[in-house]
Structure 1
């Protein structure tokens, strides 16, 4: 029987992995459910009930970063990206999938800002925010005073940062010659994330003092500055999240080298995720608050990703699941426009909030699938000069 690496060489390209589509659909559903609970329900006022759903959003985004590393390493690991031509093809393939639908929705967001505020360019930092959004670098820097013109797009900006480093990172990951080495590399990446989180926890007073010096305009509102710094440093910036991406790359290398996890690994990983999502933690445990913003779920997610790649679940072949997986980027980006408006139709504190949440999620999925079909996929084919469907299914 051919192993994954042998199949790759025999056919000239990696075979399609249906299980990853199921993983991607689960990740985007987790983010969508978490946002619906926060935006369209009264649950934020009930911390004990809302906490697992808020963690669900964090878990889903971590899943995207792990999966992104897996998919890129799986697709490009056997063919190093070299030379300006190779780098250009890689960059075109990545941005052609992201930029068209992103720029369309960014334009919608900016139009809404101009309609509501009239002269937004007079707001300090607005033009800087627009430039950062256009170049997808908004999550790379901490600019507390600048208003965000498209807050949800931070995850795409963080992904673009990963793409810049991938041609370098893949050389090291592809050089791992054994399953033990690949496993150790993934564990080392996650260990580095935990170590960085520990450093942030230990040096938080010094980090906040630096932020106060760098942003004196917010000295009169220190709680707000602390919240912005904490969110950027531990959640939205690419510097802590990079280790999840590398763990996904190492997991893909383990898969290519023939790593076949035991059948019990998938249910064990799912059980661990459920425990991490549902079991309450002390509210004053600062280190845990940092950890759950990035690397807490990554080990179980990497194990689940490997298991589903080897043994695709039956639901992964479902037509709706396939559509959701293929439209995951568009579904994620369209949430502010298709999900949040439902709170104006049904009061989140009224008796119909379950209807608002379900209708909003259904509308978001439908809008995302339509965007993927009529904007995202056609634009990617046009920019890349390809015809027909992208056989490799490379998406966020």
Structure 2
């Protein structure tokens, strides 16, 4: 990277948004084990969609400002951010969760050993079976999907400022074609014989979910060109940010379900809407608060929220394992409270971030940055969105 490049702008509000995306998933998964949040909207599952849009946005923000250290150096750097915490979560699962509650069990492709191999290599997201996709640490399917986005990103980012619209349209076409093809195949005799389920065939597949990542990339281009330097008062930006937050909250709680009801019995469109129908809402929210020029941006730039955003990847990777620990590895007479669970989760996530995630990044990244090339922590903090 040449030394005359501008430092990468530190978009602190987006670091904090990572925590809220992770928290959406944590709350939803807790309902499977405890009645703490009974009645929460099912569209909290769209927190994963939030991650994918954020990931596309941040990677584009970083790598249009600095040159990656070659294709394989880029992949190595990305894996250095994901794989160590992934391995830590797997070890934590094996050590502290009752053996019969660790993962699915079966024969052939569904054997525990095969599932483990696919998990270790982060390949599980391309297999259209829930017993593989959600095996071992179930949430790791999303970082498996993210790895495939990383493989494509160096090619997608080429000329992104000029051809973002074409790439977004192609991603939409690929996603739509894939889900219609999987829907048709799942109804054939062959599809039924191998147990293909339309939902699981598409849910984690990078070809299907790639539109969310490319939407994030495209959003960055629009934000950089039209929003980033738009002159408006603090009051105006505050109003824009508050409206974006309220709209996102309304959509997750009420709007998404109401909108999807109009799709009736159309299987493929319903699958797409149920899986990633909130991506455009998250794009609006990200575009509104990224610069942090209003009251919401100021709040999201708070040091505590930024730190929670920094440890959000560890929160995401550990949270379901910890739920299993409390639910299956302790006495059933133990009354687990939200305070007990979330205190333990924040402690473990902080330990994982400080003792595994950050040291592993320093050890495994492809090259060392000279001091004059050090940028704000944005690049280091946000590139592990998943």
Q: For 1:106-121, list aligned pairs within 5 A.
A: 106-110=90-94, 115-116=99-100
User: Counterpart in 1 of 2:143?
Assistant: 156
Per the TM alignment, residue 112 of structure 1 is displaced from its structure 2 partner at its CA by 6.5
Q: 1:240 to 1:95 in 2, by over 3 A?
A: same
> 1:117, CA displacement in angstroms?
8.9
Determine which of 286, 293, 309 is the counterpart of 1:305: 286
The answer on 1:102 being equivalent to 2:86 is yes
Equivalent position of 1:272 in the other structure: 247
Asked if the contact 2:11/2:292 (under 8 Å) is kept, the reply is no
1:3 corresponds to: none
Alpha-carbon offset, residue 128 of structure 1: 2.6
SS for the counterpart of 2:72 is helix
Report 1:119-198 matches (<5 A).
123-125=107-109, 126=111, 127-143=113-129, 146=132, 148-176=135-163, 184=165, 188=169, 192=173, 195-196=176-177
Counterpart CA distance in 2 for 1:259 and 1:214 is 47
Q: CA deviation at 1:134?
A: 1.6
- Compared with structure 1, are the counterparts of its residues 276 and 150 closer, same or farther at alpha carbon in structure 2 (3 Å cutoff)? same
The TM-score, its normalising length taken from structure 1, stands at: 0.76
Which has the bigger relative contact order, CA under 8 A and spacing at least 6?
2
Partner of 1:216: 193
Give how far 1:338 is off.
1.8
Residue 194 of structure 2 corresponds to residue 206 of structure 1: no
Q: 1:93 aligns with which of 71, 77, 83?
A: 77
Pairwise CA distance, 1:276? 2.3
Name the structure 1 match of 2:210. 242
What's the CA shift string for 1:89-118, capped at 9, x where partnerless? 211210111111111222343556894499
Cα contact 1:124–1:145 (8 A) shared by 2: no
SS at match of 1:321: helix
- The CA RMSD measured in Å over matched residues stands at 3.7
* 1:282-341, Cα deviation, whole Å (9 max, x unpaired): 496545641343331111111211221122522223333122111111111101222333
Quote the offset at 1:271 in angstroms. Answer: 2.9
Matches within 5 A, 1:39-118: 39-41=33-35, 49-50=39-40, 52=41, 54-58=42-46, 60-79=47-66, 81=68, 86-110=70-94, 115-116=99-100
Show structure 2 runs of 5+ residues with no match. 231-235
Deviations 1:127-166 (Å, cap 9, x if unpaired)? 3322211211100122466582332100000000100000
Find the aligned partners of 1:365 and 1:24 in 2 and give their Cα distance: 15
3-state DSSP of counterpart to 2:128: coil
Q: 1:113 to 1:371 in 2, by over 3 A?
A: closer
With the length of structure 2 as denominator, give the TM-score of the two structures: 0.78
Structure 2 CA distance, aligned partners of 1:258 and 1:241? Answer: 26
Residue among 219, 223, 245 paired with 1:255: 223
Which of 216, 231, 242 is the aligned partner of 2:200?
Answer: 231
Q: 1:383 aligns with which of 340, 358, 364?
A: 364
Task: Decide which of 22, 27, 35 is 1:28's aligned counterpart.
Answer: 22
- The change in CA–CA distance for 1:194 and 1:132 in structure 2 (over 3 A counts) is closer
Conservation of the 8 A alpha-carbon contact between 2:52 and 2:212: yes
Q: Spell out, residue by residue over 1:24-81, the C-alpha distance to the aligned partner (whole angstroms, 9 max, x if none).
A: 122112111222233321766xxxx34x1x21122x1111000100111001024455
* Residue equivalent to 2:384: 395
Change in CA separation of 1:25 and 1:154 when aligned onto 2, cut-off 3 Å: same
